[in-house]
Amino acid sequence: MSHKAGFVSIIGKPNAGKSTLMNALVGEKMSIITPKAQTTRHRIMGIVNDDNHQIIFSDTPGVITPKYSLQESMMSFVEGSLIDADIILFVTDINEKHDENDVVEKLTKTSSPIAVLINKIDKSTEEQVKEKIEYWKEKLNPEAIFAMSALLGYNVPPILTYIKDKLPIHPPYYEKDELTDKSMRFFASEIIREKIFKLYAKEIPYSTEVAVTSYKEEGHITRISAEIYVERDSQKNIIVGTGGSMIKKVGTYARQDIEEFIGGKVFLEIFVKVVPDWRAKKNILKRFGYED
């Protein structure tokens, strides 16, 4: 049998369930999943291999109208992932109240095959599902429509079958034993960022960024240093917490997750730095991998 390989882009509005879907498809905790919108800033590649297929998933940031340069750069990831996609999975929440025309507009410009995934149907009726299917047939006329629940893993296997069916004949793009093209360092920073989203109130996570400054495997222990960047001293005080109580929590939870992820012991140290207005500074965005 000839080998098939290709790129599959998962796109949609913030909080439509894209990261949850990607994790269901890849079977590993690849993208960070938090209830807050806009946590996926990068394109994360998750790779699914079997003997005859290699599917390279990218989870893209939710489509928004950009308000500052960080968001502009996030949207360029979306544009990029539409251009090189062999298949596009458009994830839409069945209870979506927001206007999705910006996404639809982007989709009408692409020549890649599109499957619409109506997500979160565990929170809806059969009637609503039928209505939504009709709605998308008319609006986008996609190649396929799936009603599913990424969270419960409901109707996920048929999506994989559809993808394998549609993939172009191509040799593997990556070594078959690689799960992802991002380094361990990247995952360490994502895990720390996930803890910040879980532990702090709404505004704080959006003003922070995490950089892993060193990642050393020394025998039976991996030593990791990370820096959390904030924009103001007041934010630094919140991140650190009274007597360092909050930053200790972040460190402990992140270390446990990283240990589980790499399957070994981790020594993690985290520093907090104030860099005024980092979201508007191109050179800093470059350091975090936002600018090409």
Residue 17 annotated as lining a ligand binding site: yes
**Main-chain phi, psi angles of 211, to 5 degrees:** -125, 130
Q: Is 272 annotated as a binding residue?
A: no
- Check whether 16 is labelled as a binding-site residue: yes
Q: Are strands 221-230 and 209-218 parallel, antiparallel or unpaired?
A: antiparallel
Residue 19 annotated as binding site: yes
d(CA 147, CA 116): 8
Q: Is 226 annotated as a binding residue?
A: no
119 is in an annotated binding site: yes
Neighbours of 94 (CB within 10 A): 21
121 marked as part of a ligand binding site: yes
Distance between CA atoms of residues 179 and 190, nearest Å: 16
Is 15 annotated as ligand-binding? Answer: yes
| Residue 78 counted as an annotated binding residue | no
Q: Is 147 annotated as a binding residue?
A: no
Nearest to 47 by CA among 141, 176, 226: 176
Residues 6+ apart with CB under 8 A from 48: 25, 26, 27, 54, 55, 57, 160
Instruction: Extract the annotated binding site.
Output: 12-19, 59-63, 119-122
Instruction: Extract the annotated binding site for GTP.
Output: 12-19, 59-63, 119-122
